[in-house]
A and B are shown apart, each in its own frame.
Chain A
Amino acid sequence: MTRSVHFPARDVALITIFSALVTVLVALTAPAVTVATAGIVPIPVWASFIWPMGGVFIRALVGRPFTNAFSGVVEGIVGSFILPIGVFGLVVLPAQGLILDAVFGWRRTKPTQLLPAVVAGALAGVFFVFIIVYVFFEVRKPFPLVASLLGGVAGSVSGGLGCLLARHIIRLGIMPDSAIGREAV
């Protein structure tokens, strides 16, 4: 018998649940935050504050290459039903996942290291906000640049928070047999 999956059951379960959770959180909070802040925090900027945090955290839990691309595909499929961007998410979210994968794949940096997590979050945030604002909402200069910068800041903070959250989980010892649990040992 040959094995058809590269991700074991535990990793698939983690990716599934956390991808769904992050997507639900974005869907529930992003429009409300935008309305509550009278548009000062646009939907994509708030979304770029949540996606990288989830991405870094999932990568820390699973610790395999292409974890974020897999997670992005799942988020894209789920998001096409519940997110404001609809089927557009099928393209944007896997691409964002690939960016995170590229950063963590480069020199095999770990998501529990603060700097790579911040850089990955910033790049993912800039990419997500720019594509959404420029292509989806078709807003032209200078707003896409300003929004992308905001997205970069939100993404870097988010990546950092994802990293700190993963470290917190290591300290708590909740998942001794996950990637971050093994790292703790």
Chain B
Amino acid sequence: MKLGSLWKPLIVLSAAATSGGALAADPQVDVRTNLGTIRLELYPSKAPKTVENFLQYVKSGHYNGTVFHRVIDGFMIQGGGFDASYRQKPTKAPIPNEAQGGVKGGLKNEPGTVAMARTADPNSATAQFFINVADNAFLNWGDPKSDGHGYAVFGKVVSGMDVVTKIAKTPTGPGAVAPRDVPRQPVIIESMSVVGGK
């Protein structure tokens, strides 16, 4: 690598990676956990790079064996970043935040929607995602209480909301990654796969 390239802006995904064209149907993903299966439907027309990124992680098997490590009933359940030993898994480069397009397309942080987790840097989402179990308007782009950037919603639960509720209500406490909100019994994503996919 040339020295100068360290300072060049990062091109996270090539234009070819986005999927703006007509799709036969919105893709669905089955999230099989030790508490049951959740089926997600994803919306590439509203959050193309986010859906592409998520599907790449699904297809590479990244999520298999990861856990929901942050579970707060009345807020959200977050996972996809740590294995069952609470070791952080390596990720690809972060993706641009598509929260604005999502909100304009009607995708908001409401019960049953799935969004990308990130740090305070609005464009830092990699693999971790969360499923809202409440109306978390302050996470929406454009909300007066948001940080001005919001959290990109890219899909929603189409079946297995009872499993999401069960996870949200699982007892939590101090754990390897935080002093609270870590499930006492690990909630493991045993596998994740595209419905009807190869």
* A-B interaction: no
Q: What residues of chain B have their CB less than 8 Å away from a CB belonging to chain A?
A: none
